Structure 1
């Protein structure tokens, strides 16, 4: 029964419908406000990371991450010296509001740590080596006020590298700043700690040392602040909104759990009745008709929303900084909430065709995908092993799966074929057979059959709707013994003396 039918039958006001509409509105407003704050945080973090690359990597020219590399010992020493020099003279260089971190009134030092094998004796000329795989770590500290005026590392510290057993050189430093752009949005600025690691990666020992900058942040409330005007009032409004969202979702969870429990009780009564009067066992599909999947979806979305809102309150009060988890919780919850709107459209026969088709086609689609996945995985493993050494898109197993999925959708086909053109004849021939067979099999056969499975289900559902044929034993039973919804009249408990199942409104 739809909310309108319930109101006409017993004058039950649609409280749950009203709550769901209200909840959709406030959850969407909450997500938009969090998305704008998250966008400012991410932009600020990414721009600072780019700033650190330009400040501390010598000759950096907006290279792609991971492509900045060194090839000589002199370059490695020169870059380490350059980083130390830039760090000690940071105040005179940067245009940003960057400052050194203080702990107990003293500046935290920059740490240079080398990671290396404990002992090794390597002689490539004689094809001999003797290596101890245990890893040691040696660190030195450099304070911001320590002089390092030229580019020679020797003038700063006594530091040397054994490149034959060197795995990596990691430079750790911490800088502080304030994100002032939130003032324009009438929010209090946040204070940031940037824990920066500059890594010289030599684990491959290939003669190429890759250099990259990683950045971890800690966001907290500034200890002493003064903002003129109305800045900061939005924080209290957002906290109030989050509290209302938590309360609405908690109420929704209680109502939905109650409805699920009532459905399970009715399911048990129907099974007993059907077995007693018809001597039949209710099928699993008919039993699940009493368990409303939409209520399960709403309970899940409300639970995610409550968890995300609590985490968002922690972020706004600066107790937590895990934006990623909060984004996943709130984003997934909002998606499920909007998907749940389809439930109310399903009460109209012209709008519920999508839900009926998806529900009916799901078992066949899952079985079909399991069979297709076996073929897909076979191509993935084959491409990874054979083409991986010759093509970047097949270098790792996850890249292979992404590449083949893109090929199924017709993306980037020519570039994939072109990359294999200059390889050996055997590899080139295999790549052609591999790619042509995969594309032909999945685009012209598997994908077409997949669409045919859904189309066939859609035609079946459409045929049932036109002929008004019941699609299950339960629906056939209900169709024989209850008034039509358009009549607006359903039996009350007093009128149910001759009914089989009074809660269904069905007469025997």
Structure 2
């Protein structure tokens, strides 16, 4: 991964914490020891509801100075790449409340707890419940005006944070997904890339002490559901000039290779016709023509060796990049890179050029050896 991607992921995590964790500040982003403040947490059921209301993400497209949008492409039947000006994609930037994908809230709890005076009964059967939270536009407006309204809305969906639930609920996880486009104009070789951000806000009550820890985690994954182009205007950029020069050098090398090969074929034909007369005329000496031909052969040999080294270097770097990518995928994504993905790192053009250079080098060496054997 390039540093711009690492910085992008780190910055996105920071933005998500500021966006969805109430009263989060810059001091909590700083990694210092000892920390300047305690763990981010709440202590009452009302605080949990307030934090819950703050996380409700229906205003992400209105008050965020970032290219966040809702994860709605999969729900619109889009299975092919779309451009940024595609009408189907434009709908995801300004979308009605009723079309916004629901959030998911999962609760880890035990079956039941009964406490009376000095007796208790714990049914420790573990239960994992998940509920899709779909709010109407009217409900969203009410939540924005008064966050306490959310308590009744959650109660209608069988989600409560009462004092008697403190020993029952161990953990609550609020999940939702967003999409964003990453583009860094500082890097001249980087194109805009699309990402999906899976956000999880965890309410950790596993200690049952009255202090509910809250933390946010994100999983940022690359997606291929969008594509497009980058317009540079009418000017000619330095990168374009460099690429043009490289292309011209490749073209000139190919033309030179074509001319040299034709020369070799023509020279072989002439050598067949005049080899004896040339030997008689030279009197056994080394002629200027032979020196020129030897110099040209050496140039061909050096060019092929340089081409061979550069292509092998490119293949080796691609192999090392593949190893790093495989290690990253296994460590972060917990899966192995498929064979088809690994083959993406193998450039068959370079492999063909390396094979061609090997034969040209061997042929040139044999040719020079044969010529000087009979001089």
User: TM-score scaled to structure 2, two decimals?
Assistant: 0.51
The change in CA–CA distance for 1:232 and 1:67 in structure 2 (over 3 A counts) is: farther
Select 2:16's aligned residue among 32, 49, 52: 52
The change in CA–CA distance for 1:83 and 1:307 in structure 2 (over 3 A counts) is: same
Q: Which 5+ residue runs of structure 2 have no aligned equivalent?
A: 32-37, 77-98, 247-308, 334-375
**How far apart, CA to CA, are the structure 2 residues paired with 1:244 and 1:175?**
42
The change in CA–CA distance for 1:68 and 1:79 in structure 2 (over 3 A counts) is: same
User: Considering only CA atoms, is the larger Rg found in Structure 1 or Structure 2?
Assistant: 2
Counterpart contact for 2:183–2:190, Cα < 8 Å: no
Q: Return the offset for 1:130.
A: 2.3
Aligned residue-pair number: 223
Select 1:194's aligned residue among 197, 216, 223: 197
Q: Return the offset for 1:88.
A: 0.8
**How far apart, CA to CA, are the structure 2 residues paired with 1:200 and 1:170?**
6
Select 1:134's aligned residue among 93, 112, 126: 126
Q: Return the offset for 1:192.
A: 0.9
**How far apart, CA to CA, are the structure 2 residues paired with 1:144 and 1:185?**
44
Select 1:75's aligned residue among 47, 50, 60: 47
**Other structure's SS at 2:319 match:** helix
Deviations 1:424-480 (A, max 9, x none): xxxxxxxxxxxxxxxxxxxxxxxxxxxxxxxxxxxxxxxxxxxxxxxxxxxxxxxxx
Select 1:151's aligned residue among 147, 152, 161: 147
* Alignment correspondent of 1:490: none
**How far apart, CA to CA, are the structure 1 residues paired with 2:60 and 2:322?**
39
Q: Which 5+ residue runs of structure 1 have no aligned equivalent?
A: 1-33, 250-304, 326-508
More helix by share: 1
**Other structure's SS at 2:52 match:** helix
* Alignment correspondent of 1:219: 222
Deviates more, 1:113-122 or 1:90-99: 113-122
| Structure 2 residue 102 is the aligned partner of structure 1 residue 109 | yes
**Other structure's SS at 2:110 match:** strand
**How far apart, CA to CA, are the structure 2 residues paired with 1:45 and 1:242?**
34
* Alignment correspondent of 2:113: 120
**How far apart, CA to CA, are the structure 1 residues paired with 2:53 and 2:128?**
22
The change in CA–CA distance for 1:231 and 1:215 in structure 2 (over 3 A counts) is: farther
**Other structure's SS at 2:184 match:** helix
The change in CA–CA distance for 1:311 and 1:243 in structure 2 (over 3 A counts) is: farther
Counterpart contact for 2:49–2:147, Cα < 8 Å: no
Counterpart contact for 1:114–1:138, Cα < 8 Å: yes
**Other structure's SS at 1:92 match:** coil
**Other structure's SS at 1:181 match:** coil
The change in CA–CA distance for 1:130 and 1:81 in structure 2 (over 3 A counts) is: same
Deviates more, 1:104-113 or 1:198-207: 104-113
Deviations 1:118-137 (A, max 9, x none): 222245x5263423242332
Following superposition of structure 1 onto structure 2, how do residues 60-459 of structure 1 map, counting pairs within 5 Å? 60-62=24-26, 63=28, 67-84=39-56, 87-102=57-72, 103-105=74-76, 107-123=100-116, 126=118, 128-142=120-134, 147-149=139-141, 150-152=146-148, 153-154=150-151, 156-157=153-154, 158=156, 159-161=159-161, 162-181=165-184, 184-221=187-224, 223-229=226-232, 244-245=312-313, 247-248=315-316, 306=319, 308-309=321-322, 312=325
Select 2:6's aligned residue among 28, 42, 57: 42
Q: Return the offset for 1:242.
A: 11
Which fold has the larger relative contact order, with Cα–Cα distance below 8 Å and residues 6 or more apart in sequence? 2
**How far apart, CA to CA, are the structure 1 residues paired with 2:181 and 2:238?**
15
Q: Return the offset for 1:53.
A: 1.1
User: TM-score scaled to structure 1, two decimals?
Assistant: 0.38
**How far apart, CA to CA, are the structure 2 residues paired with 1:243 and 1:324?**
31
**How far apart, CA to CA, are the structure 1 residues paired with 2:137 and 2:175?**
16
Q: Return the offset for 1:81.
A: 1.7
The change in CA–CA distance for 1:154 and 1:232 in structure 2 (over 3 A counts) is: farther
